[in-house]
Amino acid sequence: TQLLEQSPQFLSIQEGENLTVYCNSSSVFSSLQWYRQEPGEGPVLLVTVVTGGEVKKLKRLTFQFGDARKDSSLHITAAQPGDTGLYLCANTDKLIFGTGTRLQVFP
């Protein structure tokens, strides 16, 4: 069974700071998705990456898929309080979610 480990587990930062969240897998992803989940709600898809080395940008969020397709990162530039939430990576081909990174951005 594929394991998806995310780091860090918790992250508390001030508004305006940059941060990077990592997702590492024990095996190769066919495709990887990143979700954000806010308290009391279901996860919402942010991006899907498919090709090794792929980089996708979504406003202040930059997603990178590792060349070997076993890891991914999410970089947020100039974090805002609205970025607060639980960030999840997922191999939805295998219907497996990562352990999650809980981000808190303070004004």
Partner 1 sequence: EPEVTQTPSHQVTQMGQEVILRCVPISNHLYFYWYRQILGQKVEFLVSFYNNEISEKSEIFDDQFSVERPDGSNFTLKIRSTKLEDSAMYFCASSEGWLAGVAEQFFGPGTRLTVL
Task: Decide: 6 and 19 in contact? Cβ < 8 Å.
Answer: no
Before 8, cis peptide (omega within 30)?
Answer: yes
Q: Does 50 bind partner 1 (CB under 8 A)?
A: yes
Comparing CB distances to partner 1, the nearer of 75 and 102 is 102
Comparing CB distances to partner 1, the nearer of 47 and 79 is 47
Which neighbouring-strand residues pair with 44? 36
- Which residue among 12, 18, 27, 30 contacts partner 1 (CB under 8 A)? 30
Comparing CB distances to partner 1, the nearer of 3 and 78 is 3
Binding stretches for partner 1 (CB under 8 A): 30-31, 33, 37, 40-45, 48, 50, 88, 90, 92-93, 95-100
